[in-house]
Amino acid sequence: MDYWEKANHSWSTDSLRYINTSTQKQRELFYYIQEIGYFKASKPYFTERENLPSYLIKYTLSGCGELRYKGKSYQLKAGDVFFIDCLDYQYYRTVSQEPWEMDWIHLYGANVAAFYDEFLKNGSPVFHTNPASSRQNPIHLVLQDLLMLQPEPNAKTAFQSSVLIHQLLNELLLQKYHLDFSDSEIPPYILQIRDQLEEDFRQGITLECLEERYHINKYQIVKEFSKYMGLPPIEYQISKRISYSKDLLRYSRLSIKEISLAIGIENTAYFSRLFKKKVGISPSDYRQTENGR
């Protein structure tokens, strides 16, 4: 289908909008800006479009907007962010009597789709940050830094913009999934479990063992360990087994069976299937590839 758009551009005179044309080099190497701006948009401001090859991030500073996307409607207030794929149908508009004040960026690049898929894994293109600190939020600050690069671009601008966009995409994931925590906020028992899994990864520790040892419900253990360590405990344990097996495949002459036993897996066929699932190739192919480098 062809791209189409309908819109009403009722934004204030102090609003900003920059439209960029990227070079082939920029499209191959970088995350890059297609359009970027800051709007104070009054009723009847709206945009309705479909089939635009672009991703859009919009961050609300004040006022209220509405987003309709993938069959659902979302109300947007100060501190709210949405991240959408503009190939899909979208409609967004001002709904408050006061102007809808926002930062926004249309962007593209080789890995943006992967960030978008990760962002959308909980099913929602919107998340809510603290409205009281919306102007101090790192998302807003990065978007402001990107805006400041636009009026007088030079040979460094594409490089600088790409770094900032990568920072922005990471910040979206950190905040949406509450990963913007300090090390001191990690519960001590989570660190103890991590250390136990790393030291005893050969033993095949179960959730029931962890529940009994730490007197905490296993479902809570999975939830909190996943939040702070990035993987559930059992997956974390498997990752340690696979990492150790990689070292043995690279630097030892142990057979595949001996390596399987060394990491605590008695069934060699199961180890080979697990390794291929996690690494993408079989243990023997991995050994051949690494030794051939």
Domain end marker among 145, 176, 207:
176
Same domain, 215 and 239: yes
Q: How far apart are CA 18 and CA 11, in angstroms?
A: 14
Return the percentage of the chain with pLDDT > 70, whole number: 99
Domain identity same for 203 and 147: no
pLDDT over 80 (residue 292): no
CATH number of the domain to which 48 belongs? 2.60.120.280
273 or 293, greater pLDDT: 273
Average pLDDT over residues 114-133: 92
Instruction: Please report the pLDDT score of residue 293 as a whole number.
Output: 61
Point out the domain boundary residue: 146, 176, 206.
Answer: 176
Q: What is the CA radius of gyration of the chain?
A: 24
- Residue 72 confidence (pLDDT) above 90: yes
Res 55: pLDDT: 98
Whether residues 83 and 105 fall in one domain: yes
Mean per-residue pLDDT of the chain: 93
In single-letter form, the type of residue at position 225 comes to: F
Same domain, 70 and 199: no
The answer on 209 and 284 residing in a single domain is: yes
Query: What residues make up the domain containing 136?
Result: 4-176
Question: Which whole number is the average pLDDT over 56-75?
Answer: 97
Picking from 176, 204, 233, the residue at the C-terminal end of a domain is 176
Q: What is the pLDDT of residue 86?
A: 98
Residues 190 and 145 in one domain: no
**pLDDT value, residue 80:** 97
Same domain? For 38 and 167 the reply is yes
Average pLDDT estimate for 196-212: 89
Mean pLDDT of 87-99: 98
User: Does residue 167 sit in the same domain as residue 204?
Assistant: no
Q: Is the pLDDT of residue 110 over 90?
A: no
For 7-25, write each residue's pLDDT tens digit.
999 999 999 999 999 999 8
**Does residue 278 share a domain with residue 231?**
yes
CATH number of the domain enclosing 276? 1.10.10.60
245-269 residue pLDDT tens: 999 999 999 999 999 999 999 999 9
Residue 270 buriedness (CB in 10 A; 0-12 / 13-18 / 19+)? exposed
- Res 119 pLDDT > 80: yes
pTM: 0.77
> Within this chain, do residues 198 and 126 fall inside the same structural domain, yes or no?
no
Domain co-membership, 241 together with 224: yes
pLDDT band at 290 (very low <50, low <70, confident <90, very high): confident
| pLDDT for 288 | 86
Other C-beta atoms closer than 10 Å to the C-beta of 243 total 12
Q: Say what the pLDDT of residue 178 is.
A: 82
Does residue 194 share a domain with residue 159?
Answer: no
Q: Residue 284 carries which side chain, given as an amino acid letter?
A: S
DSSP the chain: ---EEEEE--B-TT-EEEE----HHHHHHS-EEEEEEEEEE-TT-EEEEE--S-EEEEEEEES-EEEEETTEEEEE-TTEEEEEETTS-EEEEE-SSS-EEEEEEEEE-TTHHHHHHHHGGGS-SEEE--GGGTTTSHHHHHHHHHHHTSSS--TTHHHHHHHHHHHHHHHHHHHHTT----GGGS-HHHHHHHHHHHHSGGG---HHHHHHHHTS-HHHHHHHHHHHHSS-HHHHHHHHHHHHHHHHHHH----HHHHHHHTT---HHHHHHHHHHHHSS-HHHHHHHHHT-
- For residues 232-257, average pLDDT: 92
The average pLDDT across 214-219 equals 94
Domain count, the chain: 2
